[in-house]
Structure 1
Amino acid sequence: MTPGNNGASTPEDDDPFGYLYADGQANGAQPPSGGGGYGYPGSVNRVRPVGERQYGGQQAAAPTAQYQQPYGQTVPQQQAYGAQPNAAYQAPESFGAPPTQQPPSYGGGRGGGRGRGPNTKGLLIGAIAVVAAVVIGISVAMMNGNGDTKTGDQAGSTPSASQSASSSPSPSSSASDAAELPKIDAKALLLGGGATTASDIDGAKADGGVYVTGFNAVGATLTWNVSGIAKSGGYRLYVNYGVPGKDATATLTINGTAQSRPLNLSNFAKAPEGNYEKGWTETWASVQLNKGTNTIKISCEQGDQCDVNFDQLYLVNG
């Protein structure tokens, strides 16, 4: 068959490309224009989807049979020609520009940033704050403990009246206070009951080494009429004395009132028995004095152990 219009009665016999040949052009074949059909005049010009044709008003479906690929693989049945596309599918260009994809968030970072780990900086700051608080608490506790210990030591260092009456004072404290209050040597005391002065035993601190002796008899006394007391209150009476390596006692009377406990004249020097020269030492007792003049008396009373020599008497604030 030659190209051109051979008088076919059906659209299938039209040669859509007849206009390309000389004999087709001679028979009036025209190229398509403006949405018209191909080929010769009077040819069928219908617009239809690919794969679909109308025969007697019915739609011809595309073959649906399966076919075999080599090696026995079966290809599933294809969608019929002319069928409507799946409603779930739409071409990307129908939606305009493609949506911007957000990068996946892996969590864990501040603000949900990508690939960030846990907030280690915040954890580090928190740990440092806890350690600092613990260190400050320990420092405060140690400071408070030191303050309490110091206070306790100060409270315990002050002796009671009963302790002071039976202990030997330190020479440094007594010497500093003695300059402020009256002091008297043995030779200036008022003696009675057989007591007298002597200077044959070395070691006495009084002027000229004079001391009171002959006191080892009931009724022996020495009296100090002290004046110049600026105010009434408590004082300490210091007594320098010597014993022959053994303890002694005497009665102390202030302004006519005997003290409830004897004056402690123990062998604080630890002298051997019978040695007066090595037995010189010092003791003190708490006394209450009035402002102005007061009378202080030491006596050997019944029950006292009076084998003792006296050297000096003086007062300190107490």
Structure 2
Amino acid sequence: MTPGENGPSTPEDDDPFGYLYADGQARGAQPPSGGYGYPNSVSRVRTVGERQYGQQQATYGQGVPPQGAYGQQAPQQGAYGQPNAHYQAPETLTGGAPAGRQPARPAPGRRGPNTKGLLIGAIAVVAAVVIGIGVAMINGNSDDGDKNADQVGTAPTQSQGHSPSPSGSSSAASDSMQSDASALEPAGGASKASDVKGASSSDGSYVTGLNQPGASVTWKVDVPSDGPYTLFVYYSAAGADQSMSVTVNGTPFGSKLDMQNYRHAKDGDFTNGWTHSFVWPTLKKGSNTISVSCGAGDKCNTLISNVKLKPGQVKKDS
């Protein structure tokens, strides 16, 4: 060692890369044997997976194989598809692979419309409508049934018969639109009598002698309003069924008054033949004249005890 030269690798002249230059090589600089860049560097490259967790690290300078110097060939990598010696999977480490991040829970989707509630509401509405229609139809049918039982039309053209009713069931009422035979006007040979029992008039009287052409009985009556009415005629028929003509305010009614022998009384047995029948004339407000007569082609062997009017077209006299 000469004065003024301390030799290679002195601290003040420590150039880690001196071996790369000619003057450094002239001074004897050598490539470092430790970690990359500096001599005796503590950075030691380890093979992947070589270090075991929980074990004591090797002391500096002990148990650590020197890495290849610069210029030396690096260790050969494994062939494609073969495991690399410098790699060790995390699951092989003590304690297993570190817990991965939990996948983020998807945000709850936006809640759609409450279709179930809407469906229930729609069904309730439809059910209410159906129930309402059913109730209306039932009420309508009931009303129609009652109306048909009491009213049939506004312009009847035929007389209506009625099943036999017991004697006395149609006795005079306090109603002003009724009249016994005593208040009727017989004509054409008809007359009043009271010999035959069972007449429904209040005094037992009736009109007889109607069994001849032109014979009639007339009733004058006041009604409260225009419209259809039901004329009940109480009579007795014996033997064959009978029929007579009806005139309203001088105009013939459209059909005959049907006077059947509903009681099935034997010929001449007028005591057991009392019953009633009806027609549906249209009357005007105020005074009206109604006549029952024996016209051409009629069968008039009957006795008439009383007459009665009811508003509307009904089938029952009470």
TM-score interval, smaller chain = 0.5 to 0.7
Instruction: Write the mapping of 1:185-264 to structure 2, written as runs, cut at 5 A.
Output: 185-226=180-221, 228-264=222-258
Percent identity over the alignment is: 29
Structure 2: 5+ residue stretches without partners: 1-7, 17-26, 37-43, 45-66, 88-97, 313-318
CA RMSD of aligned residues (A): 4.5
**SS at structure 1 position matched to 2:135:** helix
Return the letter of the residue paired with 1:265.
M
Residue 293, structure 1, aligned to residue 287, structure 2 = yes
The CA distance in 1 between the partners of 2:232 and 2:286, in whole Å, is: 19
Residue 110, structure 1, aligned to residue 108, structure 2 = yes
Q: How many residues align?
A: 240
Report how far residue 314 of structure 1 moved.
Answer: 2.1
List structure 1 segments (4+ residues) > 4 angstroms apart after TM superposition. 42-48, 62-66, 75-79, 177-180
Report how far residue 300 of structure 1 moved.
Answer: 0.8
2:129 corresponds to: 140
Deviations 1:79-113 (A, max 9, x none): 7xxxxx9xxxxxxxxxxxx99934354x6x8349x
The CA distance in 2 between the partners of 1:180 and 1:234, in whole Å, is: 17
Structure 1: 5+ residue stretches without partners: 1-10, 15-31, 67-74, 80-84, 86-97, 113-118
**SS at structure 2 position matched to 1:165:** coil
Normalising by the residue count of structure 2, what TM-score does the alignment of the two structures yield?
Answer: 0.59
1:26 corresponds to: none
Of structures 1 and 2, the one scoring higher in RCO (CA 8 A, sep 6+) is 2
Structure having the larger proportion of residues in helix: 1
Return the letter of the residue paired with 1:133.
A
> Alpha carbons of 1:78 and 1:181: their partners in 2 closer, same or farther (altered >3 Å)?
same
Report how far residue 178 of structure 1 moved.
Answer: 6.3
Confirm or deny: 8 A CA contact 1:164 1:284 kept in the other structure: no
Instruction: Write the mapping of 1:62-141 to structure 2, written as runs, cut at 5 A.
Output: 101-103=101-103, 105=105, 110-111=108-109, 126-127=115-116, 129-141=118-130
Report how far residue 44 of structure 1 moved.
Answer: 7.0
Report how far residue 135 of structure 1 moved.
Answer: 4.4
Confirm or deny: 8 A CA contact 1:256 1:295 kept in the other structure: yes
Of 34, 39, 61, which aligns to 2:73? 61
Normalising by the residue count of structure 1, what TM-score does the alignment of the two structures yield?
Answer: 0.59
